[in-house]
A and B are shown apart, each in its own frame.
Chain A
Amino acid sequence: MSASEAGRDRDAPTPAGRRELPILTTTHQPPTCGARLVHDFTPDLIDVGAHHLCPGCGEPIAMRSMVEQVTELGQVNKAIAVFGIGCYTAYSNNLDIEVLQALHGRAPSLATGVKRCRPDTLVFTVQGDGDMVNEGLQEVLHTAARGENVTCLMLNNGVFGETGGHMTAATVLGQRTKNTLDGRDAARHGHPIRLANLIAELDGAAYVARGAVDNIVNITRTTRMIRNAFRTQLRGDGFSFVEILTMCPTGWFVDTAAAPAYLANTHAATHTLGVLKDTARAPGPHAAPEGTTAWPA
């Protein structure tokens, strides 16, 4: 980011509809001693910090936001996570949260069975766009339409990351994948599905939002969306859904450092960020108003 970009009005939207924080200058000198661990910031519920996911992958960030909200809402020993199949599945091993492993696409149905039998638990699914929009579109739409009191989280990176970067139903036009080598072309490959928008149309859906983890502002907003989705469920208001755009430098064949910008300029331009539906209206005592960067107290 150039100095002139850094100095611009931070409320002015960028072309991708996002706002950026200015870069602050610092007077700190380089450290004089070697690095050492002063504090382990691994959240309590992630009991194996290391993981198999690629450097620069956005999924661990989303996962972290998720487990932090389970803790902050006091749901640690009431939470049941239903995992789909994708790179994030490896993370089900790292969590100190009860996990029910589903097949591709089926997680919302499993979550329905769990919640109907244990209405006192916090039940949420973790799925990718390949899992949820391709294989499991029917399941998530019907679960939302039934107004099941569960939360579905979709990690949307626009590719089948685990298979090595193939087109999903959420891949944006122009994106190159292993099976759209010249870029996704509407005439040949159809149009991307904006899942959060579809779900927001359904009467059973109480809270629907789309966030991203490409920068700290969006991570903070996404964390708040997850919090609001969980609170929707805890109030018993019905189906809640948070779609989270995540980086997949490996599947996108993009440099790790360039992946956040790629997300902002391609994915977020089609899958636009924001809260699409919040039937609760009245934010709870801890919720910061949308559009602010304050961490919820």
Chain B
Amino acid sequence: MKSPASHPIESLLREHAPRVLGAILRRFRDFGASEDAVQEALLAAAMQWPVGGVPENPRAWLIQVASRRITDQVRAEAARRHREELVVSMVPPELQLVLPVMGDESMGRDDTLALLFMCCHPALTTSSAIALTLRAVGGLTTAEIARAFLVPEATMAQRISRAKQSIHASGVPFQKPTPEETAARLGAVLHVLYLIFNEGYTATSGPQVLRTDLSGEAIRLTRMLHTLLPEDGEVAGLLALMLLTDARRAARTGPLGELIPLDAQERGRWDAAMIAEGVALISATLSKGSLGLYQVQAAIAAVHDEAVRAEDTDWPQILALYGVLMGLTDNPMVALNHAIATAMVHGPRTGLTLLDVLHQSGRLDGSHRLDAVRAHLLERAGEPAKAVVHYRKAAERTTSQPERDYLLLQAARLSEGMGA
């Protein structure tokens, strides 16, 4: 995936992909076959347009080519099975298709929404939903998605084809979700978009530098969803959270891909335009009195991003926001972050007391995070020897290589400071 500016045709194609698929689906019903046909049309356009120029109505072109592909396929299939049945209709199949009115914007919007809901259907596993969303709604090729997730192309193709089978088996009709369905299933859609963003954001070094920009794609799709559902607070909240997090990308890793924690990041390298957009978005959303998990997390990210220096961070406000978040979810990771904010406001000892409570609840058993936070607070409380023990314990338990390296370096730094 390259930046839209350097590849206008590519981004134009991806822009049209969900609506073209929507138009094809409405006519042919078969999700699997429609999706394949649209992929072929996108590929044909990617090869022909740079040479022959972009057609006057790109979407109509794509719909026509995809329709032709799927008709050819249906006809070949039919010919193979029952040659004689073809004469039933004297009208060639491609002429039975009347191209939709191109000015019908609302139809295109509804289609995109319906597609997102279909791809994030609860019948699918998360990894399938992610792959299908990127292909059917994002317009990425299977090869691109496979590269982004570091799996062989054949594996990704299989994942996508199984996802399509599940959708077929589930019998969900392709139609605009009702307001009730939107309310009930939007959470799953947002979760899939959030996971796509995270997958891109947490990739850091080593062979991963080859990864395509999944975070950028997640932001693009969430932005599209926000245009479709501008009144939804959580959609706006998720978009703001992504922008406010991605704004720190350049500053969060060093030259070797090593992690740099928030308080040590060079804030001049943060993306000011992205921060401004995210802050404006979350402020407008919160002023409407709406509240949800993504919105509160975006608000917390905004407070961090607005501090010019780490020591300017408004920790009392962050602590208050974590209090709100704890009222919305009983996720122990939120409780852990609440303990960190508490330590920043009331001192490391108070934070450590909260960690003891969390530890006793057993809800974070086996998580290296508890050790990592404990190490950090012990260090701040002036107990380097104990901090080293917990930094190392966390390093042994984490399954993230950059994080392992970071924790090891913290332990090494502290033990050198003690003269050990």
**Same complex origin of A and B:** no
